[in-house]
């Protein structure tokens, strides 16, 4: 039987008195496009960092493509493409070299130029990444996440800091990867960007998964009309108690 792409059971993370993630139970099937949504500080990056073994849980378990993410790290990372929230480039290395490093690590045979073309960065292939703007760095990180045709693509806040062309490009990449058969799991606090691309969304608020489902199902649950946006759903679920500044529509 095909294991879920992501499965968590009671997954929790506490920093001192701060409960960043509170007993997360979540299952993402292989082939799904899952939007992991919530305001700043909800616990989205914490979840992704746990799944990628960048941090250890306080309690709970997780499986990534059937593997234990903390004890079977190499097998997990081999089949996962990650585009992190904050990406630091090697200033003196070219875009090509950044990609070659990932291609070598994953023992893949991708063409760096073809990957950079997918993210609109082919013209900068030989430029040192130290010269890149924030948006160019993000595009490079996205290209790196695509190396080796991953079974699971994890994108942490992929829309933040991108111009409208960049936002459309991320949407195109998500669609293309989904059509290829990959699972796409992305986090976003920019709720307005997700309606078009997700099969299912999970809404995280103060470390709790407060709702999960397809958008039509969530609209029904919240008694909202068929044109209600993710932001409308979010505001209804939180009784409008989220600070307006935390939710960028
Ligand atoms: N290293 C850390 N030490 C202490 N607290 C932390 C640490 N990392 C995260 N937190 C806290 O955990 C909570 C969840 O943070 P997290 O970064 O997971 O949120 P997020 O949903 O990804 O937010 P954003 O949309 O701003 O990226 C916040 O209260 C944050 O302050």
Give the list of residues 6+ apart from residue 207 with CB closer than 8 angstroms, or none. 19, 20, 21, 22, 42, 43
- Ligand 1 binding pocket, CB closer than 6 Å: 15, 18, 20, 38, 40-46, 85, 157, 189
Alpha-carbon distance 125 to 199, whole Å?
34
Alpha-carbon Rg for the chain, nearest whole angstrom, is 18
Which of 43, 55, 248 maximizes ligand 1 atoms within 8 Å of its Cβ, making it the mutation to test the pocket? Answer: 43
User: Which pLDDT tens digit goes with each residue over 172-190?
Assistant: 999 999 999 999 999 988 7
- Work out which ligand 1 atom sits closest to the CA atom of 38: 21
User: Which pLDDT tens digit goes with each residue over 157-166?
Assistant: 998 888 889 9
Q: Report residue 7 as tokens.
A: 């499965």
Strands (E), 105-207: 152-156, 183-188, 200-205
Q: Please give the angle made by the CA atoms of 240, 246 and 247, to the nearest 5 degrees.
A: 70
Query: 83: CA distance to ligand 1 center in Å?
Result: 17
Average pLDDT, the chain: 91
Report the nearest-CA residue for atom 1 of ligand 1.
Answer: 15
pLDDT at 236: 87
| CATH match for 6-89+149-241 among 3.40.50.300, 3.90.226.10, 3.30.230.70, 3.20.20.70 | 3.40.50.300
Which has the minimum average pLDDT: 2-16, 59-73, 105-119, 179-193?
179-193
Specify the pairing of strand 152-156 against strand 80-83: parallel
Query: 9: CA distance to ligand 1 center in Å?
Result: 20
Alpha-carbon distance 249 to 89, whole Å?
29
223 has pLDDT over 80: yes
Query: 188: CA distance to ligand 1 center in Å?
Result: 13
């Amino acid at each position: 039987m095909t294991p879920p792409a992501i499965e968590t059971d009671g997954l929790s993370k506490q920093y001192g008195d701060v409960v960043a993630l509170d007993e997360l139970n979540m299952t993402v099937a292989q082939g799904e496009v899952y939007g992991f949504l919530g305001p700043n500080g909800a616990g989205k990056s914490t979840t992704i960092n746990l799944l990628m073994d960048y941090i250890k849980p306080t309690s709970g378990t997780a499986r990534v493509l059937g593997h234990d993410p903390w004890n079977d790290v190499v097998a997990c990372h081999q089949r996962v493409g990650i585009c992190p929230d904050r990406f630091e480039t090697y200033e003196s290395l070219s875009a090509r070299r950044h990609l070659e490093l990932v291609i070598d690590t994953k023992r893949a045979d991708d063409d760096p130029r073809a990957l950079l073309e997918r993210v609109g960065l082919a013209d900068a292939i030989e430029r040192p990444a130290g010269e890149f703007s924030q948006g160019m760095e993000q595009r490079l990180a996205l290209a790196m996440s695509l190396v080796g045709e991953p079974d699971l693509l994890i994108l942490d806040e992929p829309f933040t800091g991108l111009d409208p062309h960049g936002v459309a490009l991320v949407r195109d990449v998500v669609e293309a990867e989904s059509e290829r058969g990959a699972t796409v799991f992305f986090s976003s606090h920019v709720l307005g960007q997700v309606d078009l691309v997700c099969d299912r969304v999970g809404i995280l608020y103060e470390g709790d998964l407060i709702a999960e489902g397809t958008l039509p199902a969530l609209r029904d649950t919240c008694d909202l009309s068929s044109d209600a946006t993710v932001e409308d759903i979010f505001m209804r679920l939180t009784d409008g108690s989220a600070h307006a500044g935390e939710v960028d529509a």
